[in-house]
């Protein structure tokens, strides 16, 4: 299963600061079930135990930095301890899944119905075409306010953080799931009418009035369909493996 995931999104595609791949466990473990999720938390491990899954496949790595001890002092340490004590393996496919063709950003594009999709900032790694973000065309141009409403509906969000609404129709759309504000300049260069991402720094909203429609929908919300990608990869490569998309919401941000 690990090899199937890595064929789809090879580890060399991950960013230099990332830590994708096997996080906890043994590579030869026989899988009783795979729980698919965005983040690995204690509650996610509890759900895996409850549902008889001894593998967790997440988007965000459980281990970003090295641990100097494994105790009950932090949530990460407690989660690692719980996975080990219960014989649960953890695999994370992060920026390699972001940068892969058919990965996170392509799934966002599919949810929006974008056509003619291509990488926003393309690159080739070890002979594999990849890139950061994507850009594509809406089936039909729409007014900026209708576009924001359509995005909110597609991702089931109650609010979106936007700059001043464009006075022209939105047709070409750039996308980057998660924290994608570093691609705003690339979106402008590509001639995008709108840029959708999960997070953006406050000061980056300034100065783009009537240049591009910024639409920020939340980190978790933008990547929430990543588990569906895992599900499709595993079902095709390992149809004998039972897959379960996690029901536990790990979004730490409350909208009150």
Task: Tell me which H or E stretch contains 141.
Answer: strand 128-142
- Cα 54 to its chain centre, rounded Å, is 22
Average pLDDT of span 227-256: 96
Average pLDDT of span 61-85: 94
Give percent of the chain with pLDDT exceeding 90. 95
pLDDT for res 153: 97
pLDDT for res 78: 97
Give this prediction's pTM.
0.95
pLDDT band (50, 70, 90) for residue 1: confident
pLDDT for res 92: 98
Average pLDDT of span 194-223: 97
pLDDT for res 65: 86
pLDDT for res 256: 85
pLDDT for res 193: 98
Is pLDDT above 90 for 146? Answer: yes
Range 58-71 burial, b when 16+ CB lie within 10 A, else e: bbbbbbeeeeeeee
Average pLDDT of span 202-221: 97
Is pLDDT above 90 for 122? Answer: yes
If we measure between CA atoms, which residue out of 244, 178, 237, 246 comes closest to residue 8? Answer: 237
pLDDT for res 110: 97
Which 3 state secondary structure label does DSSP give 77? Answer: helix
Is pLDDT above 90 for 34? Answer: yes
Q: What is the pLDDT of residues 161-182, one digit of tens each?
A: 999 999 999 999 999 999 999 9
Which 3 state secondary structure label does DSSP give 199? Answer: strand
Is pLDDT above 90 for 3? Answer: yes
Cβ neighbours around 2 below 10 Å, total = 17
Provide long-range contacts, Cβ within 8 A and 24+ apart, for 213-216.
Answer: 213/144, 213/147, 213/148, 213/162, 213/163, 213/165, 213/166, 213/170, 214/161, 214/162, 214/163, 214/184, 215/147, 215/148, 215/151, 215/160, 215/161, 215/162, 216/160, 216/161, 216/162
pLDDT band (50, 70, 90) for residue 29: confident
Give percent of the chain with pLDDT exceeding 70. 100
pLDDT for res 130: 97
The dihedral through the CA atoms of 248, 156, 182, 96 has a sign that is: positive
Cβ neighbours around 87 below 10 Å, total = 12
Mean pLDDT, the chain, whole residue set: 97
Q: What is the pLDDT of residues 79-107, one digit of tens each?
A: 999 999 999 999 999 999 999 999 999 99
The strand pairing partners of 130, in sequence order, are: 100, 123
Is pLDDT above 90 for 28? Answer: no
């Amino acid at each position: 299963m690990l090899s199937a995931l890595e064929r789809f999104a090879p580890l060399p595609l991950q960013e230099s600061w990332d830590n994708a791949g096997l996080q906890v466990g043994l590579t030869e473990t026989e899988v009783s079930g795979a729980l698919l999720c965005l983040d690995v938390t204690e509650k996610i491990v509890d759900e895996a135990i409850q549902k008889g899954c001894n593998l967790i496949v997440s988007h965000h790595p459980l281990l970003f930095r090295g641990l100097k001890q494994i105790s009950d002092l932090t949530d990460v340490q407690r989660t690692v301890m719980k996975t080990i004590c219960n014989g649960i393996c953890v695999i994370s496919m992060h920026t390699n899944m972001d940068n892969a063709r058919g990965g996170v950003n392509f799934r966002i594009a599919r949810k929006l119905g974008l056509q003619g999709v291509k990488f926003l900032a393309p690159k080739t790694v070890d002979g594999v075409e990849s890139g950061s973000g994507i850009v594509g065309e809406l089936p039909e141009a729409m007014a900026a306010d209708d576009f924001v409403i359509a995005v909110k509906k597609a991702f089931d969000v109650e609010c979106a953080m936007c700059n001043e609404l464009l006075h022209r129709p939105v047709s070409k759309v750039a996308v980057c799931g998660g924290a994608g504000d570093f691609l705003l300049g690339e979106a402008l260069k590509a001639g995008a009418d709108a840029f959708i991402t999960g997070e953006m720094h406050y000061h980056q909203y300034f100065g783009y009035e009537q240049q591009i429609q910024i639409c920020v929908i939340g980190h978790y919300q933008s990547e929430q369909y990543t588990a569906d990608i895992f599900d499709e990869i595993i079902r095709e490569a390992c149809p004998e493996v039972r897959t379960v998309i996690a029901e536990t919401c790990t979004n730490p941000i409350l909208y009150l």
